[in-house]
Chains A and B, each alone.
Chain A
Amino acid sequence: MALSQKTKETLLGPLNANNPVVVQVLGICSALAVTVQLKPALVMGVAVTIIVAMSNVIISLLRNTIPMRIRIIVQLVVVAALVTLVSEVLKAFAYDVAMQLSVYIGLIITNCILMGRLEAFAMTNKPWDSFLDGLGSGLGYAWILIAVAFVRELFGAGTLLGFRIIPESWYVANGGFYENCGMMMMPAMALILVGCIIWAHRSLNKEEK
């Protein structure tokens, strides 16, 4: 399927030039909270992508009927319903995952990216475009999360997805020379890493603009 220029921009824009985290600076709060390890970051990325895409479609379908004065409330109801639905389904069919993620699933409701996309895009665009926009924004958010979590888990705990990467024998405790960077475990480090990504991103994109 060939994508038109506009479709491509809608879908791929948020991955780089219009990234929700590093350009729009949305969803920073959860980017700090869930990036200590790679696994929750991955699942959070997937969950947010699904929920942004779905709520974008629903709001886009309803966009001409929603009364302007309560549009935020309607958006919130749709998002909250979807998040509750996902959480209930997880509890019934993947209890272990639900237990690990309970707090993050709930946190999706307050993720600024959702409200941002609903308000800025879905309210004025057709369902298919909104779906692509949601997908793109979700993925744009996910890759930043994964990049930050990758660095934090690798240097903070010496593992990736729970598998040991830095050998045990390197550690000072075992007579080696290496020690985990405790700073990586602190939320502040996520902010610093996001800052570094924004810095790199801006210097790379300067010429294009």
Chain B
Amino acid sequence: MNTNSNTYTIVYATVVVIIVAVMLALVSQVLGPRQQANVELDQQKQILGALKQDISNCADPAALFFSLVKDTLDVNGHPVYVAEVEGEPKFVLKLKGAGLWGGIGGYLALNKDKNTIYGANFNHESETPGLGALIVELPFRQQFEGKHIRNAEGEIVSVAVLKAGTTAEGQEQVDALSGATITSTGVSDMLKANLAEYAEFLNNVKPCCGHCKKHDEGKCCQHEAEQAEATEAQIVTE
């Protein structure tokens, strides 16, 4: 048979492509549910990471996830996971941004004052191992704990990721990764952009310190709670 004729070439190419397409479609169909389950489990694990749960020895992360996360809110299409850790409510925001080679993302857990960062977790699609990929490691993530996303005036200003030795004006900062400037800037930009998206949620519902303009974690909320209790007690006595 003449394997160089036009007809043969076209038929051959068509057959090869159809066989490969059918095979890949089948594989994708068969493995799809399992992959989807993996993606969901991975997302739950990441949220647990942002909530500072050690899941390295956890047999069933999904169960732990559902025991901590009580509710999921929707803020203009962005999810907010409402969790409860050691009796304290935490809000987990989803982050999405761009690194050097591809997308980066993460979860940011805030205390109930919607200002203090409780924990952060990051992921990436294709950052360089040993450099940008280090954003997923604990030393980088732990820097965010206890930082505040608001400035003294209560405006949402995010947390900057900056080279050690430089200072951010009017916002708190963490150290960037050396050798991974673009990824670090990506994390910084991602935080700023995503927090802006969540502004409605963050500024909504009596920002716990609305009246005293202080953002010290807990204190003011407690103050408010005490007041509420006092009012309640008053009503009862009346």
Contacts and interface: CB of A to CB of B under 8 A. Distances in A.
Interface stretch (A77-85, A129-137, A201-209): A77-85
A88 B28 contact: yes
A95 B38 contact: yes
Interface stretch (B12-20, B82-90, B114-122, B161-169): B12-20
Contacts of B28: 88
Interface of A: 33-34, 36-37, 40, 64-70, 73-74, 77-78, 81, 84-85, 88-89, 91-93, 95, 99-100, 102-103, 153, 156-157, 182, 185-186
Residue with the greatest number of chain A CB neighbours at <10 A, chosen from B12, B16, B123: B16
A74 B129 contact: no
A69 B125 CA distance: 37
A22 to B, nearest CB: 23
Interface residues of B, number: 31
A37 B129 CA distance: 7
B12 A66 contact: yes
B24 A73 contact: no
Interface of B: 3-4, 8-9, 12-13, 16-17, 20, 23-24, 27-28, 31, 34-35, 38-39, 41-42, 101-102, 123, 125-126, 128-131, 178-179
A158 B176 CA distance: 20
Contact of A70 (B13, B42, B101, B123): B13
A89 B102 CA distance: 22
B4 A69 contact: yes
Nearest to A94: B38
Contact of B3 (A65, A99, A103, A185): A65
A77 B178 CA distance: 40
B27 A88 contact: yes
Contacts of A66: 3, 12
Given A92-B35, A99-B42, A34 B129 contact: yes
14 contacts: A36-B130, A68-B4, A74-B12, A81-B23, A85-B24, A85-B27, A88-B35, A89-B27, A92-B34, A99-B42, A99-B123, A103-B101, A185-B130, A186-B179
